Amino acid sequence: MLRRIRRNRLLGTVALLVALLLPNRSVANEQRPSLLEAEVVRARWLMGTVLELRFPAGTQDVDSLAEAAFAEVSRVDGAASLWRPGTELAAVHARAESGEAILLSETLGALLQEAIRAADLSGGAYSPAVGALVSAYDLRGDGRWPTEAERRRAVALARPQGVHYDPRTRALRLDAGVTLDLDGISKGFALDRAAAALRARGVEDALLNFGGQLLVIGPPAGAPAREALVDSPFNPGASVLSVRVRDASLSTSANTERVRLVAGREAGHLLDPRTGELVRLSGSVTILASTGAMADALSTAWAVDGPEAYRTSDPRSPLRRAGIVGFALAGRDGGCETLTDRPFERLRPPPRVADAAIHGP
């Protein structure tokens, strides 16, 4: 998991406990020790997690900046969520049953276009049409194990080819039985929209942390890049990788985030749309990409494909060029091994938790 981000080893972390206890409110963490006075923080509960915004001290109109960012995220949630009624995507599914073409809003259309691009890049390891499989496994409910026939039917409906979208007209048509599920990309896309709102208002330096996915604006030329630390999935608090981030986003996927027992068997949340099987990644994968949407979707895709597919992939392929990859995997004797692209650096030994608390983010 992504735990900390630091810049030039000067500043400390700010706990999110207050924000977690006060959903739907902006939180300013003003009363902080002197080490923490170089950033101003606003946070709000959105899309089932906390979005935290960090600005350099002295940033003007922080509250209005934060409200603009939060409004963009709320707009994405209202367009793409399947966790609450009354969203645009829920209405799309209701109308799609007739086979008619549906005109999407600019927000949902742009999100779907990014999802289709990610599906093309990943060869279907990520698919926006995975809704039938999510339903077959009841991943939004108590969970279930589908029959073989149910699984095969859901796989046939989970192909990206069942989604027909024209970005010029924003017209969407779905093949019969196909349902969209954009959870694997919507949080990253919401980060992109929030960052765009901040940049449009003159922000050149900020950190957005959305439930662990990071997006960095800036820092400006001449300032040091932020350094993100990736924790071991087997030893929370012990960082195993670092990477410098400038005008980019970082997203991690791991089965350890949502594992539960279903009929006495362990079930995660990662599905391979091509086979309909639940995927068991023994570790985590982190993606550094130029956009939040691509980092979000490709972290899912590489978690599905796994380290062996990474080892045999062409570094010059469009998929590899779209995002920098860092695996943290179960090693021998209970340790953690890493498999990464060059910008990631292995921390040997990992920093002590006390040190990280002083020097992050």
pLDDT of residue 22: 29
pLDDT of residue 257: 59
Q: Decide if 2-79+185-359 and 80-184 have a common fold.
A: no
Residue 21 has pLDDT above 60, yes or no: no
Please give the angle made by the CA atoms of 322, 313 and 344, to the nearest 5 degrees: 55
pLDDT of residue 349: 60
pLDDT tens sequence across 164-183 = 999 999 999 999 999 999 99
Mean pLDDT, residues 263-287 taken together? 88
| Sheet with 226-232, edge to edge strand ranges | 2-6, 226-232, 235-245, 345-346
DSSP helix/strand/coil, 254: strand
Residue 5 has pLDDT above 70, yes or no: no
Q: How confident is the model at residue 38 (pLDDT cuts 50, 70, 90)?
A: confident
Mean pLDDT, residues 208-225 taken together? 95
Cα 131 to Cα 57, 86, 159, 291, 360: the distances in Å are: 43, 18, 10, 24, 38
CA 346 – CA 330 distance, rounded (Å): 15
Length of the chain in terms of residues written: 361
pLDDT of residue 305: 97
Which residues are CB-contacts of 47 (< 8 A; sequence separation ≥ 6)? 73, 76, 77, 81, 186, 187, 190, 210, 211
* Cβ pair 213, 292 in contact under 8 A: yes
Please give the angle made by the CA atoms of 141, 266 and 48, to the nearest 5 degrees: 40
pLDDT of residue 258: 61
Q: Which fold has domain 80-184?
A: T-fold (1.10.3980)
DSSP helix/strand/coil, 62: helix
pLDDT of residue 133: 96
Which residues are CB-contacts of 355 (< 8 A; sequence separation ≥ 6)? none
- For 2-79+185-359, give the CATH class: alpha beta
pLDDT of residue 234: 87
How do the residues of the chain divide into helix, strand and coil, expressed in percent and rounded to 5?
Answer: 35, 25, 40
Residue 19 has pLDDT above 50, yes or no: no
pLDDT of residue 259: 66
pLDDT of residue 13: 29
Q: How confident is the model at residue 262 (pLDDT cuts 50, 70, 90)?
A: confident
Strands (E), the chain: 2-6, 39-46, 49-56, 102-103, 163-166, 171-174, 206-210, 213-217, 226-232, 235-245, 248-254, 260-262, 265-267, 283-289, 324-330, 336-340, 345-346
Residue 4 has pLDDT above 80, yes or no: no
Residue 16 has pLDDT above 50, yes or no: no
Q: How confident is the model at residue 90 (pLDDT cuts 50, 70, 90)?
A: very high
DSSP symbols for 214-253: EEEE-PPTTSPPEEEEEEETTEEEEEEEEEEESSEEEEEE
pLDDT of residue 268: 73
Residue 335 has pLDDT above 70, yes or no: yes
Q: Where are the domains of the chain?
A: 2-79+185-359, 80-184
Radius of gyration for the alpha carbons in the chain, expressed in angstroms and rounded = 20
Residue 236 has pLDDT above 90, yes or no: no
* Cβ pair 346, 39 in contact under 8 A: no
Q: Which residue has the higher pLDDT, 227 or 333?
A: 227
Mean pLDDT, residues 90-107 taken together? 92
